[in-house]
Amino acid sequence: MFRRGRDLVQALITNRQFFARDACVVARDMIGATLLVHGVGGIVVETEAYHANDPASHSFCGRTSRNSAMFGAPGSAYVYRSYGLHWCLNAVCLPGSAVLVRAIEPQSKLDLMRANRGVDDLRLLCSGPGRLCQALAVDASYDGLPLDELPFQFKLPSGARTSSILTGHRVGISKAVDLEWRFGLAGSSYLSRKF
């Protein structure tokens, strides 16, 4: 009993420590981790880092009601609407910085994801920030929630990393376009686009 509780606290501390670092480092380290929402999800295969003093970041011009979750606790979710249609899910790192989760390899509750997306092809379920939010049914009501508590589950891969990480330019931005802050799992069939 005591042991269980102690391990739980330990896990929460390490989880918070994991996110309370440079967003680029966190973005790279998140590749291969398992992310679930209500048990739906899979393995993170593509991420992008956004810094507090990064012209491409929502937080660059300071705190607003939309981006306030970016200034919350490290390890919490920042969810925003993109192009008026899609939701995008981020993991908050140091204050004002975050990692955009761009693609997931579907693993858990595939049929639920298919139903949420209205698509059968596994490769089209979570390969893109808007797609994965639709597949995992993430919307504004998840903004600010901690990723290490239900309905979220976030687990780092156990053991040493076996596959290599791709690096590239971030997608769909017009500022700070030269930075290579996009990361992906080499060889994955579930990336949103080529590197």
Partner DNA sequence: CGTTGGATCTTCT
Partner DNA sequence: GAAGATCCAACGG
- Give me the residues that bind DNA (CB under 7 A), please: 48, 50, 56-59, 61-62, 64-66, 70, 78, 81-86, 88, 90, 98, 100, 117, 119, 124, 128-131, 170-175, 192
Closest by Cα among 187, 26, 163 to 101 = 26
Q: Closest approach of Cβ 167 to DNA, in Å? A: 17
How many residues does this entry show for the chain?
Answer: 195
* Structure tokens belonging to residue 146: 């901690």
Element (H, E) at 111: helix 110-117
Pick between residue 1 and residue 61 the one whose CB is nearest to DNA: 61
Q: Shortest gap between Cβ of 80 and DNA (angstroms)?
A: 7
Of the pair 65, 158, the CB lying nearest DNA is at 65
The minimum distance between CB 3 and DNA, in angstroms, equals 38
Alpha-carbon dihedral 182, 188, 194, 195, rounded to 10 degrees: 40
Instruction: Give strand pairing partners of 88.
Output: 80
* Shortest distance in whole angstroms from residue 10 CB to DNA: 29
Task: Report the nearest approach of DNA to the CB of residue 14 (Å).
Answer: 24
Of 57, 56, 100, the C-alpha closest to 78 is 100
Quote the Cα angle for 85-88-93, to 5°: 155
CA distances from 104 to 4, 138, 159 (A): 30, 13, 20
The angle, 0 to 180 degrees and rounded to 10, between the axes of the packed helices 23-30 and 2-19 is 120
CB nearer DNA, residue 3 or residue 136: 136
Minimum CB distance to DNA smaller for 12 or for 144:
144
Q: Measured from the CB of residue 8, what is the shortest distance to DNA in angstroms?
A: 30
Cβ distance to DNA smaller for residue 110 or 171 = 171
* Nearest to DNA of 59, 76 (CB atom): 59
